[in-house]
Structure 1
Amino acid sequence: MKKIALVTDSTADLTEEIQKKYNIHVVPLKVRFKDKEYFDGELTSEEFYKKLEKAEELPATSQPSPEDFANMYRKLLKDYDEIISIHISSGLSGTVNAAHLAKQSLDGKIHIVDSKTISLGIGLMVTEAARNIGEGLNALQIVEGLSKVRKNIETLFTLNTLEYLQKGGRIGKVQGVVGALLNIKPIIRVGDDGIYHTYKKARSQERALNGIVQAFKELARGRKYARLAVAHGAAHQAGIYLKEALESALQLKANIFTQVGPVIGAHTGPGTVGAAVQFE
């Protein structure tokens, strides 16, 4: 049986525990404040959000270079026969393109997968691939299966403000919310095209969180709930609220509960709360 290595990038927001459990190799993106640049993961989420709060200018982010990917792939191909590399939506980042460029420069079987989603939506795809590897599926079977898995994952989140998305240029098709003074919160869905869309709006964070629960029930369209992952950006209590509300409504325990990492957090800001659901 051929040995398969599993690669993703840091926007998957997978905990160290899960990375170790499934032997997942992570290529980090970077976040740059005025004074210093950090690889995603160098700062803890807590350190990042404290730094973000004090920053005079919003941080910038950058994707891995083709050489970053090539270095990872070269190292892995010494011990593995094939690589499956799953990354943030091409509609939101050039990361997957950098992976493709790296692949072209190397000999070896490397399968690049555009997740068409972000954060824990990617995380659910990666952990599904990891389980498939453990079950003995070959790389082509896993990659073909991921096309179906991708169609069965929904990722939704709400923000305190659109300021970070707007300034970071990742606004997608999210409608600008004029009613900031009315505390209107957008519920954002990552669409099938891999970019952000406004799914609904709510007049408070609590209503937005309840709206996310209802949205997942609407998006199920008769499918069964298989896995749940919840994340927050410096909003622990709101994250717990959403986790418990989803677990109750979907009758499903969360597989992952974590903080949104620095690179995603630089574009969504503090107060972000969201979840990804994998359907069967």
Structure 2
Amino acid sequence: MNQVRIVTDSTADIPAELRESLGIELVPLKVHFGMETYRDQIDLETAEFFEKLVASPELPTTSQPSPVEFLETFKRLTDASDDPVVSIHLSSGMSGTYQSAQLAKTMLDEGADVTVIDSKSASYGFGMLVVAAAKAARSGQSKEQIIALVERMRREMKLYFLVDTLEFLQKGGRIGKAAALVGSLLNIKPILSISDAGIVYSVDKVRGQKKAMTRIIELLKHDLSERPIDIAIAYAESIDNAKPLHDLMQEHFTVESARYTRIGAVIGTHTGPGVVAVFACPQQVSG
């Protein structure tokens, strides 16, 4: 049986050493600071990105990979063997990345076995799906089994982002200046999630970081059954910002596996450097 090959894009925020150890192929988005362009996770590391973000008077812009970039990756994999390819990407509600991959698929030679999946999620919310898919591929599972696994995890995944400041939401046009000013004065911490349609929305607003983390635990208790869960805690600048949330998750849930990861440039552009996120999924074969 051929081994399924897994492809994703840089917004999955999978730690580089984990991605490389599992043989996950990466197609990067691009980040533009004025006239300077960087390939996310390749030319621009996460720490460097947040340094530039804080220093920049204007938000950077981001752009999806072109169909040609996806085509090059798909052709390299399918020309080398008959292995099926499963390509999992950032929500189509946030980016044209999924559409670029789909278009590239139509440009392949007949017989090339490529499946493109819209994760309807972002950051390690689908990075966890990609990692699970890669582990399943390594264990010899079929394309159909891997697709079923990804779809099941996508339905069961729960995630919340805690934004430290309203500044970057305001710069990106998601809230007005008056709302950002009042929110900052009152120490308001927005809690964000992603809808079933794959779009970011505001779940709640809480005063103070500690209360906001407690509210996230309440939300997850409502979301999740008593099954053991796998979690990832993501942070932007400092892991110290993420440790309290990690500790609360360990205290209130049966956590079978946990890891830290970094919020990448695309999500970080809109949330800013103080963002913390939790991704939780009932245990399957994710890691």
How high is the TM-score relative to the length of structure 1? Answer: 0.92
1:139 and 2:143 correspond: yes
- Residues 208-235 of structure 1: per-residue CA shift (max 9 Å, x gap): 1222222211111x25133101111114
| Matches of 2:14 and 2:116, distance apart in 1 | 19
1:250 and 2:253 correspond: yes
| Matches of 1:22 and 1:169, distance apart in 2 | 38
Match of 1:54 in 2: 55
Q: Is the 8 A contact 1:247 1:253 kept in 2?
A: no
1:46, distance to aligned residue in structure 2 (A): 1.5
- 1:49-198 matches, within 5 Å, as 49-80=50-81, 81-107=83-109, 108-168=112-172, 179-198=183-202
- Residues 58-84 of structure 1: per-residue CA shift (max 9 Å, x gap): 110111111110011111113342110
1:167, distance to aligned residue in structure 2 (A): 4.2
1:78 is paired with a residue whose SS is helix
- Unaligned stretches of 5+ in structure 1? none
1:20, distance to aligned residue in structure 2 (A): 1.7
- 1:216-255 matches, within 5 Å, as 216-220=220-224, 222-252=225-255, 254-255=257-258
2:192 is paired with a residue whose SS is strand
Q: Which residue among 203, 227, 231 is the counterpart of 1:199? A: 203
Task: Tell which deviates more after alignment, 253-262 or 209-218.
Answer: 253-262
Q: Is the 8 A contact 1:177 1:186 kept in 2?
A: no
Alignment length, in residue pairs? Answer: 276
1:259 and 2:283 correspond: no
2:218 is paired with a residue whose SS is helix
Aligned structure 1 segments of 4 or more residues deviating by more than 4 angstroms: 175-178
Pair 184,144 (structure 1): closer, same or farther in 2 beyond 3 Å: same
Amino acid at match of 1:147: E
Task: Tell which deviates more after alignment, 54-63 or 153-162.
Answer: 153-162
1:255 is paired with a residue whose SS is strand
Q: Is the 8 A contact 2:31 2:40 kept in 1?
A: yes
Task: Tell which deviates more after alignment, 40-49 or 158-167.
Answer: 158-167
How high is the TM-score relative to the length of structure 2? Answer: 0.90
1:134, distance to aligned residue in structure 2 (A): 2.3
Amino acid at match of 1:25: E
Pair 272,254 (structure 1): closer, same or farther in 2 beyond 3 Å: farther
- Residues 139-178 of structure 1: per-residue CA shift (max 9 Å, x gap): 122112321111010111111234434544678xxx9895
Amino acid at match of 2:275: T
1:197, distance to aligned residue in structure 2 (A): 2.1
Q: Is the 8 A contact 1:9 1:29 kept in 2?
A: yes
Match of 2:25 in 1: 25
Q: Which residue among 247, 255, 278 is the counterpart of 1:275? A: 278
